[in-house]
Structure 1
Amino acid sequence: MQDVTILILTKNEEINLPDCLKSVKGFAKRCVIVDSYSNDRTKEIALEYGADFYEHKFENYARQFNWGLDNTEINTKWTFRLDADERLTPALCSELEKLMSAHENDEVNGFTMEASLFFMGKEIKHGGPQKRKLMLFKTGKARIEDRKMDEHTILSSGTAVSCKNKFQHYDFKDMTFWISKSNWYATREMQDYFDYKNGHDQSISASDKETAALRGKKFGIYYKFPKFIRAWLSFIYEYVFLFGFLGGKEGFIYHWTYCCFYRCLVDAKILEQEKNHKPFIETGDLK
């Protein structure tokens, strides 16, 4: 086993958690679950697989994860940020073992990975879901930036190396959950937008060029287009020009609900805030 602690945040994840924990068995020395008071079998499953289980009230993803870093006595060389709907593959584990060994004592303090996205049981290979994020880092060398949406793991020092192999992301339970999740995220996206507009946005380390570039495109390009029109332009770009249509019915549903429905919902919440000056409402964790 590698000198790694896997840190997973949960809320009612009895569907995803078993496969997630199976995928890291034999790879990580320790698994830590930080749960926001699930009312299903999440705790029972976590204990069955030998994970250490903690409970903490959810404010947002960043604060919950950082609380886990600070309060679960992580003493391994490495820490791995993993979501319950994500899986490691044998090929990725093998690659990570070699990378951790090669960079144990140098200035490479983290590794970024890209997801293979599965939606409604099908891998979405084309379009816009391919995203890379920093997931494995030397303990004490990274934290998640404190923001309501689009939070990234930021290294405090050193550099990151990109992995060739991908992890698997099963970002779907059923359509009811998917739509509820979209609504929950849309509120936080709206809040994040106004944080940026009002100058409260957290800055990005100059060394994290990939994150800075992504956020630059979001606030410097996407949000410069008119409300609602930008959602359709995003759909056309990802579904047509990035060949999302090759994903069949599942690809269409994914891109339409994300680019059109979700992005239009964000714009509707922005418009509502601008018209009525409604106060932001913290929505808690996703039920």
Structure 2
Amino acid sequence: MFKIPISVIILTFNEERNITSCLESLSNHFDEIFLVDSGSTDKTIEIANNYSVNIIEHPFENYSTQRNWAFENLPLRNQWILNMDADHRLTREIVIELQQKFQQDIPPSINGMLSSRKTLFMGKWIKYGGHYPTYHAVIFRKGKGSCEDKLYDQHFKVEGEVIKLKGDIIDLITESLSTFTLRHDKWSTLEALQQFNKIDKTQGTINGSLIDGNPIAKRRYYKNIYERFPLFVRPAVYFFIRYFLRLGFLDGKRGLIFHFLQCFWFRFLIDAKIYELRKTRDENQ
């Protein structure tokens, strides 16, 4: 059986509910799989030991640091890297597509591959509201890609030309509404700190652009515009655009829950935390 010559890297921490399905979507298809765990106390490692997986433990500082540490320190034997999280699954279509591509010669000018995420929320594919297709540079040549040095909303930055894959990666965005809100509460703190401190690291990050044809750069361009809008106004405008103008209402009741929480509540919470940080700063001056 042909094994795709890609080294897969999965980051985990207490992912016993997700890791089996993730590994099942990868198992027997790829040359090697690395699981970088940051001290799981559940059955994540026990489950992973049932698969042909190289398990490495490394303390977690933040997502970017963990990813970039893995790129620099894991004994990867392949030229190509696929980045996965435990709540991601490869579709059969993308596996077949990668098998076909890697059985041929990939032009040396190509350093990365973009795949769209197919978000599942409460068991439903979120198809509208501008949420699909959303491309991410999940595959790149070793030494030609890195994770942006950001607290939140990190993307993989690839040096050189990238191509789009037709297949999707499934993203199980929540196990439950409680998990969803807890995670987004944590992420809102990171994003609020990033915006409050005006962290702008031009080196190693993706610049916003409408002209280079990169969908990730295009999204970053629009996010930069979003961040210039007044606090508390911008979440309402964003929700209106996503839910009404970009037809998010076609996703039904579960779509309403998702688009409201992800487009309005989450971003309103970020603004509230930025407001709190500014208020605390002003009181201490």
Same fold per superposition (TM over 0.5): yes
Q: What RMSD over aligned residues (CA atoms) do the two structures have, in Å?
A: 1.8
Give the structure 1 partner of residue 18 of structure 2: 16
Question: What secondary structure, in the 3-state scheme, does the structure 2 residue paired with 1:164 have?
Answer: strand
Alignment of 1:28-47 (within 5 A): 28-47=30-49
**Aligned twin of 1:269:** 273
CA distance in 1, matches of 2:63, 2:43: 21
- Higher mean C-alpha displacement, 203-212 vs 43-52: 203-212
Match of 2:191 among 176, 189, 192: 189
The answer as to whether partners of 1:154 and 1:208 remain within 8 angstroms in 2 is no
Q: Is 1:141 matched up with 2:144?
A: yes
In the other structure, the counterpart of 2:56 is 54
Deviation string 1:153-184 (CA, Å, 9 cap, x unpaired) is: 1123x311001121111111111111110101
2:110 and 2:201 mapped to 1: Cα distance? Answer: 30
Q: Residue 262 of structure 2 aligns with which residue?
A: 258
8 Å CA contact 2:5–2:78 kept in 1: the answer is yes
Mapped partners of 2:144, 2:26: distance in 1: 22
Provide the identity percentage.
33
CA distance 1:91–1:201, shift in 2 (3 Å): same
Q: Please state if 1:179 is matched with 2:181.
A: yes
Equivalent in the alignment of 2:120: 118
User: Larger deviation: 108-117 or 185-194?
Assistant: 185-194
Q: 1:97: Cα distance to partner?
A: 2.1
Measured against aligned partners, the alpha-carbon deviations of 1:188-234 in whole angstroms (never above 9, x if no partner) come to 11122134x35445443687843332222112x21222211211111
TM-score (norm 1): 0.90
Q: Distance in 2 between matches of 1:122 and 1:91?
A: 19
2-structure distance, mates of 1:75, 1:192: 36
**1:247 and 2:251 matched:** yes
Contact 1:75–1:139 (8 Å) recurs in 2? no
SS at match of 2:72: helix
Equivalent position amino acid for 1:239 in 2? Y
Seen in structure 2, the aligned counterparts of structure 1 residues 199 and 113 have a Cα distance that, compared at 3 Å, is closer
Amino acid in structure 1 at the alignment position of 2:95: C
The alignment partner of 2:56 has SS state of strand
Candidates 92, 95, 104, aligned match of 2:94: 92
Residue 224 of structure 1 aligns to a residue whose secondary structure is coil
Aligned length: 275
State the alpha-carbon separation in 1 of the partners of residues 13 and 57 from structure 2: 10
What is the one-letter code of the residue matched to 2:61? E
Q: Which residue of structure 2 lines up, in the alignment, with residue 2 of structure 1? A: 4
Q: 2:220 aligns with which of 215, 218, 223?
A: 215
Structure 1, unaligned runs of 5 or more: 279-287
Aligned-partner Cα distance in 2 for 1:187–1:15? 25
Question: How far apart in 2 are the matches of 1:274 and 1:51?
Answer: 46
Letter in 2 for 1:77: Q
> What SS is found at the alignment partner of 1:14?
coil
Give the structure-2-normalised TM-score: 0.91
Tell me the distance in 2 between the aligned counterparts of 1:224 and 1:145: 21
Quickly say closer, same or farther: Cα 1:255–1:141, change in 2 above 3 A: same
> Quick check: 2:196–2:277 contact (8 Å CA) kept in 1?
no
Match of 1:152 in 2: 155
Structure 2 unpaired stretches of 5+: none
Partner of 1:225: 229
